[in-house]
Structure 1
Amino acid sequence: MAGSPHRRPIGLVVISTGFILLWLLVAAVPFLWTLWGSFKVQADFFSKADWRHAIYGVRTLAETGSRFTGGGYEGAWIEQSFWRNALNTGIVVFFTVIISLTVGTLGGYALARSGYRYAFWILMAALVFRAMPHITLVSGYLLPFFEWNLWGHLGTTIIVLVAINQPFTLWMLHSFFLNIPKDMDESAMVDGCT
């Protein structure tokens, strides 16, 4: 069987693959170096005497008896209570996503199936709020949240993040529902979906 007429030359494939692998290596080195250094003591990782101390862990071996240590993670997660920040982040992300998707799904579907002109203007208003810098939106919340003693609570953070992300969610789900044929809605209604 003859070769495909759309095959790329082998030289081009080798050069482009080599370039991509080199680019991935260059992009990954800072992350890998930071991960490697997180298992060393500071005296090794920030050594001015010899940069190879960060690789071989000379001072880490002298201080801990091993070339690797988890002391940095213990200090951050346990002594500095970073686990609490990670838990708070998880709670905020979970509720922000649930609320944003619930409201955005309802609004996006309603605006996609609406035949009225107001749907366009609501989407334009959402686009205006999406184009505004976040700090201009948050600054409007500051005074009331300070006066009502709500600043620094998880619920406040969730409300602000939902308000900031709602225009984007509305636009994305609106365009998603526009791509679903209206015949699908009609057939679902025939099958008993209300």
Structure 2
Amino acid sequence: MRSVHQGRARACRHAAPGWPQRDPRACQRHPGAGGDERSGARRHRQCRRGARGTRPNVTPEEAYAEIDLRVPSFKDADEFVGKILALTSKTDGVTVKVTGGLNRPPYEKSNAGASLYEHAKTVATEIGFDLVDVHTGGGSDGNFTAAHTATLDGLGVDGKGAHTHYEQLYVSSLAPRARLLHRLYQTLR
């Protein structure tokens, strides 16, 4: 399977042997993933893995793809999982079988989570940096806890290129983030 982003085919970053090698633009969050620009909500799709026939330019007997769908709300999850599971072939002689479901719930921040963030933001300001609340569309263990308890996600060091071959951290963020975690442990009840 090739993931198609904004009308151009690109190789999946987990390309099967014989496929073009990793394209840093492929299989990552992109404007075509959709979202509501007014609310800042984003949906995220990613071609996780795929396989095709034995040679280029040959129609394969079988192919498969794994889809990673991340959504901001349970409402979106119900809508998009239903659409994906309902996919059918538009080509005679081709069968499409879709199985599975959402393997990680959306991260929906509760009132308790918002209150905890405000506390962490105040502590960060006292330490000397701004703690910015952003929704990344990622999937972490916080996705499982947010529905049950106040949850903060992404308190680690700052950096860039998350989950890429050029992932890096900013050394300058190590001490402030460590101080933030220490102060949070001291002040939370």
Return the structure number with greater strand share. Answer: 2
Tell me which structure has the larger Cα radius of gyration.
Answer: 1
- Regarding TM over 0.5, the answer is no
Taking CA–CA contacts closer than 8 Å with sequence separation of 6 or more, which of the two structures ends up with the larger relative contact order? 1
TM-score (norm 2): 0.21
Return the structure number with greater helix share. Answer: 1
TM-score (norm 1): 0.21
